[in-house]
Amino acid sequence: MKRIRLRFFYIPVLFLGWFISCILIAGCTPEKNADSESHSKNIGHIQFADSVHAEYAEGFQISYHENYKLLEILKPFQDRVDTLRYSLVPRDIANEVEVKNTTEIPIPITSLLTTSTTHIGLTEMLNATDILIGMVGADYVYSKDIRNRLEESKMISLPQGELNKEKILSMDPDLLMLSGGQSSQFDNVKILMDSDVDVMINSEWLETTPLGKAEWVKVLAALLNKEQLANDKFNTVAKEYNRLKSKVSDIQDKPLVINNMPYKGAWFVSGGESFTAQFLRNAGADYPWFSSDETGGLRKSFEVIYEIGLEADIWINPGAANSKEDILAKDSRFKDFKPFQSGEIYNNNKRTSPSGGNDFWESGVVHPEIILADLIKIFHPQQLPNHRLYYYQKVD
């Protein structure tokens, strides 16, 4: 059976119609309800015992059919909403099943090459770090298990930037998992796919809610046939997250919070519908830009933030700062900020490795309930008197 492969190209606007046609032929369709037909040759029907379904995530759907699972990535890229469709077919019948308009991935996968440290948390939650054989930028991870695997040559760290095609082909992974944001590497991906390397786009980073981002563990579970474990683990996380959220939902006295640090003359703050803003809202904070409908960052001048900083109660995530001296080294005017004078500055870099890895962006992806507990402890310490900060620490 010949697999249907996705193709990615950079194209000028004049050829947009041609490009859309190629996408449709390759298995990328904007219609979510397009029918898939499975063609089998003299094999029985396989029914899957367990299943997962998206409850909070907006970027994927998984459905279960005889002999295959259909995984649809609904928002694969920041600038496109084309749906990528993958048929996950049991490995022992992969040569006998063909699902139209999809890219086939034999399952369960046994080796994974990934390009984002956020995927570490997914494998850890499913007790599956042993499938990782390589990672782009793995030298900078926090996970002790991953660092041990690197030292024992069980994993290879590929340099940031251009994917090394020859190296990847020699590693022969069952699956190469790419972040949807790495559009500059799509020409290399095309060559890899032509060489029979299975490639999947993971766009969890585009989710705008903490539970939505964490729920992408179910995508990996479908690839590993670990649906029941994923349901058990995720449901525990979601239950605790919602319990904590309810503890502060009726609080009226909310601290005014600012975040981040200026960069090259501009201060980018989180939009009102962004991932960070959702955390702040759920943790019972007052935030100047909740009314914004942006899911990304908002560009503000230093002067605008300066006026707010004079009145703010708490400052979180001030860049890479570990001390007040680090903050003043950026700009001496920060000493005027109310949080600077009161000492109410907190950063999410408590769990970092010597090489610069930050566990906030690894295990924190699948444990938003712990991040939420940290923020509630910072904003409303009386609500969680026994909680000790895990990802966050005070900047002294």
Angstrom distance (rounded) from CA 160 to CA 60: 27
Residue 65 phi, psi (nearest 5): -135, 170
For residue 47, the model assigns a pLDDT of: 77
pLDDT at position 248:
97
pLDDT at 185 over 80: no
Each residue of 24-38: pLDDT tens digit?
334 444 444 445 565
| Cα(282)–Cα(264) distance, integer angstroms | 31
- Predicted pLDDT of residue 2: 39
What's the pLDDT at 75? 80
The pLDDT tens digits for 59-87 are: 999 999 999 999 999 988 776 667 899 99
Q: Where are the beta strands (DSSP E) in 166-282?
A: 175-179, 199-202, 257-259, 267-270
Q: Which tokens is 389 given?
A: 């900060």
Average pLDDT over residues 131-147: 92
Contact indicator for 157, 138 with CB cutoff of 8 Å: yes
CA nearest to 32, candidates 74, 69, 65, 64: 74
Q: What is the pLDDT of residues 383-393, one digit of tens each?
A: 999 999 999 99
pLDDT of residue 43: 60
Cα gap 127→228, rounded to integer Å: 13
Q: What is the DSSP letter of 66?
A: T
Segment 142-156 shows an average pLDDT of 94
pLDDT-derived band at 338, boundaries 50, 70, 90: very high
State the amino acid at position 270 in one-letter form: S
> Minimum mean pLDDT among 11-25, 47-61, 91-105: which range?
11-25
Confidence of residue 286 (pLDDT cuts 50, 70, 90): very high
Question: Torsion-angle region of residue 27: left (phi > 0), alpha (psi -120 to 50) or beta?
Answer: left
Q: Which long-range contacts (CB under 8 A, 24 or more apart) does 114-117 make?
A: 114/176, 114/177, 115/163, 115/176, 115/177, 115/178, 115/179, 115/182, 116/177, 116/179, 116/202, 116/205, 117/141, 117/142, 117/357, 117/361, 117/362
Burial class (CB in 10 A: 0-12, 13-18, 19+), 92: exposed
Angle, alpha carbons 348-349-355 (nearest 5°): 150
Mean pLDDT (whole number) for 337-342: 98
Q: Which residues lie closer than 8 Å to 31 by C-beta, 6 or more apart? A: 83
b/e sequence 332-349, b meaning 16+ C-beta within 10 Å = eebeebbbbeeebbbbbb
User: Could you tell me the domains of the chain?
Assistant: 13-206+216-237 (3.40.50.1980), 248-394 (3.40.50.1980)
- What is the distance between the alpha carbons of residues 233 and 45, in angstroms, rounded to a whole number? 29
Percent of the chain past pLDDT 70, that is, above it, reads 85
pTM of the complete model beyond 0.85: yes
Q: How confident is the model at residue 188 (pLDDT cuts 50, 70, 90)?
A: low
User: For position 181, what pLDDT does the model report?
Assistant: 63
The mean pLDDT value for 223-235 works out to 98
How many CB atoms within 10 Å of residue 295? 17
Given a cut of 70, is residue 53 above it in pLDDT? yes
| CA terminus-to-terminus distance, the chain | 62
Determine phi and psi for 388, rounding to 5 degrees: -105, 135
| Average per-residue pLDDT for the chain | 87
Q: What is the mean pLDDT of residues 307-327?
A: 96
How many angstroms separate the Cα of 122 from the Cα of each of 117, 129, 234? 10, 9, 11
pLDDT over 50 at 106, yes or no? yes
Q: Peptide bond preceding 288: is omega within 30 degrees of 0, i.e. cis?
A: no
pLDDT at 317 over 90: yes
Q: Which residues contact 388 (CB under 8 A, 6 or more apart)?
A: none
Task: State residue 165's pLDDT score.
Answer: 85
39/220: higher pLDDT? 220
Rounded Cα distance between 325 and 319, Å, is: 13
DSSP for 6-46, written as a single string:
-------GGGHHHHHHHHHHHTEES-TT----EEESS----
Give the rounded percent of residues in the chain with a pLDDT score beyond 90: 71
Q: Report the alpha-carbon distance of residue 70 to residue 196 in Å, rounded.
A: 20
Whole-angstrom distance, CA of residue 287 vs CA of residue 306: 15
Q: What one-letter code names the amino acid at 78? A: Q
pLDDT level of residue 225 (50, 70, 90 thresholds): very high
